[in-house]
Structure 1
């Protein structure tokens, strides 16, 4: 049975979880401006998205281990402070190398903080109830990407791109203060009831959940391919303005919200393992639409927009259900288990999206092929997990 989670704590967890997409989406409209000011190609700045996600993976490995040992609250606070300091440092970057370094520091802090969110949920719920909590938090956090590009565009218009990261720093410090007051203190345990801390290798050796690691890692890779390459696809390849880009981005967020609500409704009738397979199938359909559009109608944007919306929206069903399926097997050591899941998710996605961005040299083929392959691997993982788990 789950313990009660206050509404204020749910909002805080959603806000911390939303920090990562917000810190990515806020500066997407500024990528061309940053590239121009630093005198580098736009792809070099766009690769900071993949670098940020790579740092999130490392941060989650650290945070998962420390949160099991020292408690969720202190680890979350430390991560948020590191994130905030890294954000402020980015605002003074005068070269692409400094931008990369500070972005990596920022992402380490973000990873340490966000891994505490699924661990706290697992501390309080499991199964369908956990899936519903993940879905509720996902709904709240979707406010972030829905407004982030507009916030970034507004700051860019009124001030400059440096203030985008100053704003993120203030946000990080603010959340750290709220975490101090809202996250429960860790319960002191005696030597008799303290669970044995598992190593990451022990978590990996649990073959029953390996399919879900693949499902989330490659399902999220599709999302990150979109985030990394959407500025090039929309603003450079199709030549839309920053304002139109924000509108197109918002369409994806509305799709995420719709699928999130659909997932919450379907969880009343179906288990998360069944729904996970269906939503990854939806993602694969969107990827195929994108591939067909690039193949036969490359000059028209409509098929590309439709494909992106379908496969990005599917993530609203993929992520909460994968977390619920995976974490139900880690009542103890949930921080380390969540750290491994999150690190594989972000590490795989950063590598996949980075490779796609590297090979995207003026055409859309790498993007289309990348999302199809990633969706296919995610579907295989979800089907394998469904066979092994009774969720």
Structure 2
């Protein structure tokens, strides 16, 4: 594979992977404006995040079998068309309940891009290169939370929050065209795969029984729910509790994303000397130390704006190390049904993310502590799952 082709594939696959995060992050600065226009509260607007996470989680299970049965490109294109139409509808929504529903549909469309991109990584690259490829994808994905809230803040300030969804529709169109013309047919459709509920469930069950899958899928997903906790909590933490302006919030969010980007790129370098297993363990042990310190500071009322930013920066850096490695090890055992495996991995990750964001909406009011407690719980449980699950893995891939 030439360097030019390699770069093009990474860019397109990274854009597909980033579509979901961009759709999550870009409208965050508009929460107050959305709440005002739709005659509701910021907490209710935050429920549109939960519905998005639920949609993208459930949609993963839908697209997995479709990607294996019909190949990668057709289901991808259909999903992107759903995303484009839902984004257009969100721009003209009049009430919060319809908005919550449309965000669910938008998510179902966007997750086709997520599942297809992960499956195509498994199709196009050798197993040994997958963690490095995921780290490169994290570089593209990492630009999303850097750019999206910042751009969203300026767009919302100048044109209103409705324009954000028109821009998302445009992004969907560009990605659809890039995928159509730039991606190879990486997988021969497997017509033996049934789309009836029972065979699909049996296929997912066979994936879930693989010790390497459930160990690293659940370890990575539970740890990664800390990111969803942060995303859901950040508008309330920074704009309501610490009283920063929407534009400033966008810049803070962008700065925080640097930790995830830099850490994922550091991961590529460290993989020359350490295994993925060692990287995951090191990241989770460091993350555990951070969250315990975070809790102590929160309980003793020692957290201001800058202390909170500093702790979250290190916390997100740990996720930038662990996530590419858990994803790579989760998918490593699979070739024939990589689409189903990646879909199930994504569903677990985003299902837990939806639960975490919902918990934020329920418990987070006027204190940072609930967010920190949710992050602490997810980190320590992830470490426990890893320690227990590693004992069941007998074959190294």
TM-score, normalised via structure 2 length: 0.92
Q: Indicate how the Cα distance of structure 1 residues 320 and 5 shifts in structure 2: closer, same or farther if over 3 A, else same.
A: farther
Query: Which residue, 220, 224, 227 being the options, matches 2:231?
Result: 227
Deviations 1:243-299 (CA, angstroms, capped at 9, x unpaired): 221222122111112211210011111111211121122322332232122111356
Q: What's the counterpart of residue 118 of structure 2? A: 118
Aligned residues, how many? 388
| Distance in 1 (alpha carbons) for counterparts of 2:279 and 2:67 | 30
Q: What's the counterpart of residue 334 of structure 1? A: 338
Per the TM alignment, residue 361 of structure 1 is displaced from its structure 2 partner at its CA by 2.6
Query: Which residue, 319, 329, 349 being the options, matches 1:325?
Result: 329
Q: Indicate how the Cα distance of structure 1 residues 314 and 190 shifts in structure 2: closer, same or farther if over 3 A, else same.
A: closer
CA RMSD of aligned residues (A): 2.3
Deviations 1:309-368 (CA, angstroms, capped at 9, x unpaired): 111222211221011101111111000000000000001111122113211132222211
Q: What's the counterpart of residue 390 of structure 1? A: 396
Asked if residue 354 in structure 1 is aligned to residue 384 in structure 2, the reply is no
Q: How does 1:55-70 map to 2 (within 5 A)?
A: 55-70=55-70
Asked if residue 285 in structure 1 is aligned to residue 289 in structure 2, the reply is yes
Q: How does 1:35-184 map to 2 (within 5 A)?
A: 35-184=35-184
8 Å contact from structure 1 (residues 91, 163) kept in 2: yes
Q: What's the counterpart of residue 29 of structure 1? A: 29
Tell me, what secondary structure is at the counterpart of 1:390?
Answer: coil
Q: What's the counterpart of residue 243 of structure 1? A: 247
Q: Indicate how the Cα distance of structure 1 residues 356 and 62 shifts in structure 2: closer, same or farther if over 3 A, else same.
A: same
Tell me, what secondary structure is at the counterpart of 1:133?
Answer: helix
| Distance in 1 (alpha carbons) for counterparts of 2:292 and 2:190 | 54
Q: What's the counterpart of residue 270 of structure 1? A: 274
8 Å contact from structure 2 (residues 150, 254) kept in 1: no
| Shift >4 Å, 4+ stretches | 186-192
* Structure 2 residues not aligned, in runs of 5+: 193-198
Query: Which residue, 207, 211, 217 being the options, matches 1:213?
Result: 217
| Distance in 2 (alpha carbons) for counterparts of 1:254 and 1:208 | 30
| Distance in 1 (alpha carbons) for counterparts of 2:189 and 2:288 | 46
8 Å contact from structure 2 (residues 9, 183) kept in 1: yes
8 Å contact from structure 1 (residues 58, 111) kept in 2: no
Per the TM alignment, residue 186 of structure 1 is displaced from its structure 2 partner at its CA by 5.2
| Distance in 1 (alpha carbons) for counterparts of 2:141 and 2:275 | 23
8 Å contact from structure 1 (residues 54, 350) kept in 2: yes
Query: Which residue, 311, 315, 327 being the options, matches 2:315?
Result: 311
Per the TM alignment, residue 191 of structure 1 is displaced from its structure 2 partner at its CA by 8.2
Per the TM alignment, residue 5 of structure 1 is displaced from its structure 2 partner at its CA by 5.8
8 Å contact from structure 2 (residues 29, 149) kept in 1: yes
Tell me, what secondary structure is at the counterpart of 1:371?
Answer: helix
| Distance in 1 (alpha carbons) for counterparts of 2:51 and 2:31 | 14
8 Å contact from structure 2 (residues 35, 45) kept in 1: yes
| Distance in 2 (alpha carbons) for counterparts of 1:285 and 1:359 | 24
TM-score, normalised via structure 1 length: 0.93
* Structure 1 residues not aligned, in runs of 5+: none
Q: What's the counterpart of residue 301 of structure 2? A: 297
Q: Indicate how the Cα distance of structure 1 residues 120 and 373 shifts in structure 2: closer, same or farther if over 3 A, else same.
A: same
8 Å contact from structure 1 (residues 287, 308) kept in 2: no
